[in-house]
Amino acid sequence: MTTTPASSASGQGGPPRSTATGPATRLSGLLPVDPVLRRASLLTLVNSLGNGLYFPLGVLYFTRIVGLDTTAVGLGMTGAGLVGVAAGVPAGRAADRWGARRVAALLWAGTGVATAAYVLVHSYAGFLLAVVCATGLQMASRGVQGALYADVLPAATRVEARAYLRMVTNVGMGVGGAFGAIALQLDTRGAYVTVIALNALSFAGPALLIPGLPLAPHAVERAPLAADAPAADRWRAVRDLPFLAVTVLNAVLVVQYTLSEVGLPLWIVERTDAPRWTAALLMIVNCVLVALLQVPVARRFSRVPDAVRAMGRSGLLLAAACAVYAVSAGLDPVWAVLALTAGAVVHVLAEVLSAAGGWTLGYALADSRAHGVYQGVFGAGMSAGMMAGPALVTVTAIRHGSAGWAALGVLFAAAGLAMGPAVRWAARDGWRGETD
């Protein structure tokens, strides 16, 4: 990659823009040779390390150390998540108006400050204020990050680069989680506060790197929507029915993440004879295979027709995984572990396919002049899917066993196969990105 001085499309000076040739993830040592992806990888690694540290003990801090009621904490976190979903689209519009780099940096910095405020919480009111601010800002930043990557990563290698960043995230979360487990074992206020402070820094520190990411040539040359553009153009994403259909179908497939994090641990403990450590085994299998497969899979499905096929296959594979998980309930411990592991492998294949397909469609079907709002809508859909997932998995698979797994499988398969007609509907509009 080479960099040359350039001005932004809005006429303001900015960091040099970037160009890239060859594979986006070609490595020099452990880091990609592309300097933009290298910097994005660094800030992603730091942030995921902090999140991994905090993830195992976040709820326990508020219940065991602060002394809040468990149910009240859960309700507060759900409400904060709803705020984050609602904030995604306005945050995306702000990215279109003032630039994704600036808005992403502000959101990450704000998340860091709000997270640091956790150490000052001594009441439920204080908890609500801090968690709504931290969770709301963090979830609102998801769509803005999508717009950020649309601006700084070359379009030809964007999906592959996002796959690499996802691999970095998995590694960082895994390493951070291992150290978080140490703090959890210590179970002291000092240990919890240290983890919270490190997690806060993992947002605030990388926020300083975001404004320095250079724009890709297409972002420099693209004319953004003017501030006084008609509202119908500025907010097109919220009334773009084909794009909303794709967003909803993708949100259904996103429920699979909750399946791994919530559904399987409950299923293993309550409905199978497999040992409890099987849940940890399946998480390790998931992390390792995602790290190995996500980048090569993303390379193969970075065009719209390929992405449609990926989503269809993902839905069918998820249905197959649900069927295997259901069978594990009637097996002895050894065979139950083997069945669950086989289901987890099939599940990972579905996961990497849907991730690659979702990135491709989320960018290709958007208005390139308003990536902020479009990625805000797409990100809000993903957040909504992850929020609805625990309840959906509980009322289907956990409550009704094999019949519940069958219902989930049908839902996943239908969502994946319906993606083709939805994308063809969107492709009728000639102003979209690549749809051939």
Q: Band of the pLDDT at 3, cuts 50, 70, 90?
A: very low
- Between 157 and 112, name the one with better pLDDT: 112
- Which H or E run includes 46? helix 35-54
Task: Supply the pLDDT for residue 9.
Answer: 33
Give the lowest-confidence range in 155-164, 315-324, 353-362.
155-164
- 73-110 confidence digits (pLDDT tens): 888 888 888 898 889 889 988 988 888 899 999 999 99
With vertex at residue 432, the alpha carbon angle to CA 248 and CA 41, rounded to the nearest 5 degrees, is 70
> Which pLDDT score, from 0 to 100, does residue 298 have?
92
pLDDT band with cut points at 50, 70 and 90 for residue 220 = low
pLDDT higher than threshold 60 for residue 319: yes
pLDDT at 343: 96
Token duo for residue 162: 């996002």
CA-closest candidate to residue 92, choices 381, 327, 322: 381
**In the chain, % of residues over pLDDT 70:** 88
How, if at all, do strands 31-32 and 27-28 pair? antiparallel
Q: Cα–chain-centroid distance for residue 90?
A: 18
Provide the whole-model pTM. 0.81
What is the identity of the amino acid at 400?
Answer: H
Alpha helices in 272-332 (DSSP H): 278-300, 304-327
Band (pLDDT 50/70/90 cuts) for residue 195 is: very high
More confident residue, 93 or 309: 309
Judged against a pLDDT cut of 70, whether residue 18 lies above it is answered with no
For the chain, the average pLDDT equals: 85
The residues with which 27 forms a beta bridge, in sequence order, are 32
Quick: pLDDT tens for 238-255: 889 999 999 999 999 999
What local confidence, expressed as pLDDT, does residue 2 receive? 34
Distances (CA, A) of 427 to 246, 250, 364, 366: 12, 17, 10, 11
Token pair 């940096």 in the structure block, residue: 105
The pLDDT value given to residue 8: 32
Rounded Cα gap, residues 242 and 248, in angstroms: 10
Residue 14 has pLDDT above 70, yes or no: no
Mean pLDDT score, 164-168: 91
Kindly state the average pLDDT of the residues 109-115.
Answer: 95
Distances in Å between the alpha carbon of 109 and those of 47, 99, 157, 281? 12, 16, 28, 35
Helix locations, 99-224, DSSP H? 100-116, 124-152, 158-186, 189-207, 217-221
What is the pLDDT at residue 267?
A: 92
Q: Residue 31 pLDDT > 80, yes or no? A: no
- Higher-pLDDT residue of 230 and 241 is 241
Determine phi and psi for 199, rounding to 5 degrees: -65, -40
Q: How confident is the model at residue 32 (pLDDT cuts 50, 70, 90)?
A: confident
State residue 21's pLDDT score: 45
Judged by average pLDDT, the poorest of 18-22, 79-83, 122-126, 405-409 is: 18-22
Residue that the structure tokens 């319906």 belong to: 418
| Cα separation values, 47 from 164, 172, 311, 424, Å | 15, 8, 29, 37
> How confident is the model at residue 23, as a pLDDT?
60
Q: Which residues contact 331 (CB under 8 A, 6 or more apart)?
A: 272, 273, 339
Q: Which element (helix H / strand E) includes 19?
A: none
Name the pLDDT band for 324 (thresholds 50, 70, 90): very high
Indicate the burial class of 207 (C-beta count within 10 angstroms; 0-12, 13-18, 19 or more): buried
**Cα(144)–Cα(92) distance, integer angstroms:** 5
- The residues near 125 (Cβ < 8 Å, ≥ 6 apart) are none
Rg of the chain in Å (alpha carbons): 21
The mean per-residue pLDDT over the stretch 345-368 comes to: 93
- Given this model, what pLDDT does residue 275 score? 92
pLDDT of residue 119: 95
pLDDT at position 16 over 80: no
Tokens linked to 225? 């929507």
